[in-house]
Amino acid sequence: MTTQKLMLLFILAICFSLSYSQAQKIFISNTFNRTCTSLNGKWQYVVDAYETGGMGGMPIFRNYEPKDKSDRVEYGFTSGRTLWVPGSWNIQKPELNYYEGSVWYRKTFNKENISKDKRYFIYIGASNYKTTVSLNGKILGKHEGGFTPFSYEVTDLLKEKDNYVIIGVNNSREADYIPAKVTDWFNHGGITRDVKIIEVPKTFINNYFIALDKSALNFKTKKIKGKIQFAGSELPKKANVIIPELKIDKEISVNEEGDTEFTLEVKHLELWSPENPKLYTVTITAGSDKISDEIGFRTIETKGKQILLNGKPVFLKGICLHDENPLRKDRTNNIEDAKLMLGWARELGCNFLRLAHYPHQEKIVRLADKMGMLLWEELPLYWGIQWGNPEVLKKAKAQYTEMINRDYNRASSIIWSVANETAPTEDRTKFLSDLADYIRSIDDTRLISAACKKDQEADGHPDSVYTYNDPLMEKLDIISFNEYLGWYGGFPEECRTKSFKAGLEKPIVVTEFGGGALQGFHGDSLTRWSEEFQEYLYKESIAMFDKIDGLAGMTPWILVDFQSPLRQLPEIQDGWNRKGLISEKGYKKKAFFVLKEYYESKGR
Ligand code: GCU
């Protein structure tokens, strides 16, 4: 072969490997078990109120500093002006409490022992809402979405000394965002979850999806199915999946596309459940990479009006919660916050949580795996979304992909929800049906639902039967709806004359009901905002819903009071939605014990 031909082949090989690695969508899952350098802590910041991205013609991410006493620079990062990361800027600075716009953060750091045999990524657990990430003066990428993780490669930019990462975050609300302009929660802006530098081998295990195959559920020998995605140019030929407790060490071949699927036949598998949240250490090795995770194995299905966990009917004794620790008035972002929220839910007697209305921090999902708490997870496709805008559907699929990439291996997560309280227009039903199909195409190990709302007034029957026949329900595995009879319209005693049915032979989960109470304010059961009114409303609501044929669970609204700019009734709300069963100071209201008693009556 002539030299020219050899050179051409060599150049083609370089181009292919470059394009291949760039073409690979990098999603580094399970960052907890990766070698990381945390960038959490104090970051300097610049408020960019007019969203120019720079002052005096100097882009902020370029980190200009005056060269001498005459030099002009019209912005600056100073040690005297810092924000904690992770954390919402709104609750850290009084002048930023209701601020919605752009803030630029900067962190300088050194990175010892940079290896030429490694690749490096900057990982952000979440930042709300649009984020621009740069390192050492180079833009790495832009991300949209306030609640899902993302990462960018920094291998070629990282230095041993004096790195500066500058991240611009904008939390403005826009009609074509997810959520759109109006929500009933506080618009926490900023880098709200962990930031870290992750190091991995040149070719590494980018992501993996491992679950129990429901087809073998009733056999002694169970089947675990899995898929591993690699990233890098020198793809391994083999990989090993090791589960010591099951005496599994299986070698699997890796195809030339870098993907691989496998099935493991296992005996004596202990299934994961709320009663027995059994987790197995699963290790994947391939080439010079190795990653371990704690994975539970379970199946979730429906059969007629029942939800089956591991083939057995389960009643979902749930509660809704926002991803906000009211004691700190901030988004949750650490394991203590997760333990506080799940501890309250456990005290209430829950085996199920609706993580409203957006992906919560990953530590809550992993803690739910350990505690045996089932989860409903959702994107904030909430109220008035631009359903006819194809760009919004693309964003929804992208953000759902990030959420599934993050939580696929979590046994606790059993339901993906595609919407909350969205009017059944044609555009909306098409958008959500398309999204539901997409979700099923990348994850068939969970059920799909949506919190619908009553658009069908009582159909005139003397017993006022509410019939839920939202067209979207054809696409859902579980029929779910929010119902505030006795709070938004009517009084609690009207619950005695109402009944509900869905037009389909599917399980029903009531995803919201309840009413507001200021903890410590007492009156009779007709005194709005008193604990007694809320208690009465819970008693009547529960009695009404408990009669539903096919009721498979409920998640009343809501575990704990949460911040919302919509709620401005002086002396009662003052910026808090008071439908919590626990106050923002952690005190339980009377209705807490009504729901607790009901769940105790439902048994395990
Ligand atoms: C709605 C909505 C919640 C809201 C609640 C309320 O159903 O889904 O996000 O906070 O009702 O009105 O308090």
Ligand 1 binding residues, C-beta < 6 A: 184, 357, 420-421, 482, 512, 557, 577, 579
91-128 burial, b at 16+ Cβ within 10 Å, e below that, comes to beeeebeebeebbbbbbebebeeeeeebbbbbbbbbbb
**Category of 258 on φ-ψ map: left (φ > 0), alpha (ψ -120 to 50) or beta:** left
Ligand 1 atom with the smallest distance to the CA of 357 is 9
Q: Report the alpha-carbon distance of residue 351 to residue 328 in Å, rounded.
A: 25
**What domains can be seen in the chain, in order of their start residue?**
3-201 (2.60.120.260), 204-298 (2.60.40.10), 302-601 (3.20.20.80)
C-beta separation of 192 from 126 below 8 A: yes
C-beta separation of 589 from 517 below 8 A: yes
With H, G, I as helix, E, B as strand and everything else as coil, classify residue 403: helix
Cα-to-centroid distance, 326 and ligand 1 (Å): 17
Q: Report the alpha-carbon distance of residue 537 to residue 259 in Å, rounded.
A: 53
**Mutation pick for ligand 1 pocket among 321, 534, 557 (CB with most ligand atoms within 8 Å):** 557
**CB neighbour class for 224 (10 Å; exposed up to 12, middle 13-18, buried from 19):** buried
**Mutation pick for ligand 1 pocket among 382, 453, 512 (CB with most ligand atoms within 8 Å):** 512
C-beta separation of 310 from 216 below 8 A: no
C-beta separation of 158 from 111 below 8 A: yes
DSSP character at residue 529: B
Q: What is the pLDDT of residue 230?
A: 93
**CB neighbour class for 548 (10 Å; exposed up to 12, middle 13-18, buried from 19):** middle
C-beta separation of 314 from 373 below 8 A: no
Provide the token pair at 361: 């921090």
**Mutation pick for ligand 1 pocket among 563, 577, 578 (CB with most ligand atoms within 8 Å):** 577
Q: Report the alpha-carbon distance of residue 334 to residue 584 in Å, rounded.
A: 18
Cα-to-centroid distance, 556 and ligand 1 (Å): 11
Cα-to-centroid distance, 50 and ligand 1 (Å): 32
Ligand 1 atom with the smallest distance to the CA of 516 is 13
Q: Which residues of the chain have pLDDT under 70?
A: 1-24, 454-463
Cα-to-centroid distance, 157 and ligand 1 (Å): 45
Ligand 1 atom with the smallest distance to the CA of 564 is 10
pTM above 0.85, yes or no: yes
Ligand 1 atom with the smallest distance to the CA of 579 is 13
In 255-334, alpha helices (H): none
Take atom 9 of ligand 1 and give the residue whose Cα is closest.
184
Q: What is the pLDDT of residue 8?
A: 59
Cα-to-centroid distance, 316 and ligand 1 (Å): 20
Cα-to-centroid distance, 184 and ligand 1 (Å): 6
Take atom 6 of ligand 1 and give the residue whose Cα is closest.
184
Ligand 1 atom with the smallest distance to the CA of 356 is 9
Cα-to-centroid distance, 185 and ligand 1 (Å): 9
Take atom 10 of ligand 1 and give the residue whose Cα is closest.
184
**Mutation pick for ligand 1 pocket among 421, 529, 566 (CB with most ligand atoms within 8 Å):** 421
pLDDT per position as a tens digit, 206-238: 999 999 999 988 999 999 999 999 999 899 999
Q: Report the alpha-carbon distance of residue 580 to residue 341 in Å, rounded.
A: 12
CB atoms within 10 A of CB 1: 7
C-beta separation of 596 from 581 below 8 A: no
CA distances from 468 to 45, 418, 472, 500 (A): 50, 17, 10, 8
Take atom 4 of ligand 1 and give the residue whose Cα is closest.
184
Cα-to-centroid distance, 317 and ligand 1 (Å): 19
With H, G, I as helix, E, B as strand and everything else as coil, classify residue 588: strand
Cα-to-centroid distance, 514 and ligand 1 (Å): 9
Q: Report the alpha-carbon distance of residue 208 to residue 212 in Å, rounded.
A: 14
CB atoms within 10 A of CB 41: 12
Using omega within 30 degrees of 0 as the cis cutoff, is the peptide bond preceding 380 cis?
no
Provide the token pair at 298: 């379970």
Q: Report the alpha-carbon distance of residue 327 to residue 337 in Å, rounded.
A: 9
What's the first-to-final CA gap in the chain, in angstroms? 74
Give strand ranges (E) for 254-366: 259-266, 280-286, 289-295, 300-303, 306-309, 312-313, 316-321, 324-325, 330-331, 352-355
pLDDT per position as a tens digit, 268-309: 999 999 999 999 999 999 999 999 999 999 999 999 999 999
With H, G, I as helix, E, B as strand and everything else as coil, classify residue 112: coil
Q: Report the alpha-carbon distance of residue 272 to residue 309 in Å, rounded.
A: 9
Q: What is the pLDDT of residue 604?
A: 75
Q: Report the alpha-carbon distance of residue 312 to residue 307 in Å, rounded.
A: 8
pLDDT per position as a tens digit, 143-183: 999 999 999 999 999 999 999 999 999 999 999 999 999 99
Cα-to-centroid distance, 483 and ligand 1 (Å): 10
**Mutation pick for ligand 1 pocket among 182, 183, 184 (CB with most ligand atoms within 8 Å):** 184
**CB neighbour class for 86 (10 Å; exposed up to 12, middle 13-18, buried from 19):** buried
Q: What is the pLDDT of residue 21?
A: 40
Cα-to-centroid distance, 82 and ligand 1 (Å): 34
Ligand 1 atom with the smallest distance to the CA of 482 is 7
Q: What is the pLDDT of residue 137?
A: 98
Cα-to-centroid distance, 224 and ligand 1 (Å): 39
DSSP state string for 152-193: EE-TTT--SS-EEEEEEEE----TTSSS-S--SS----EE-S
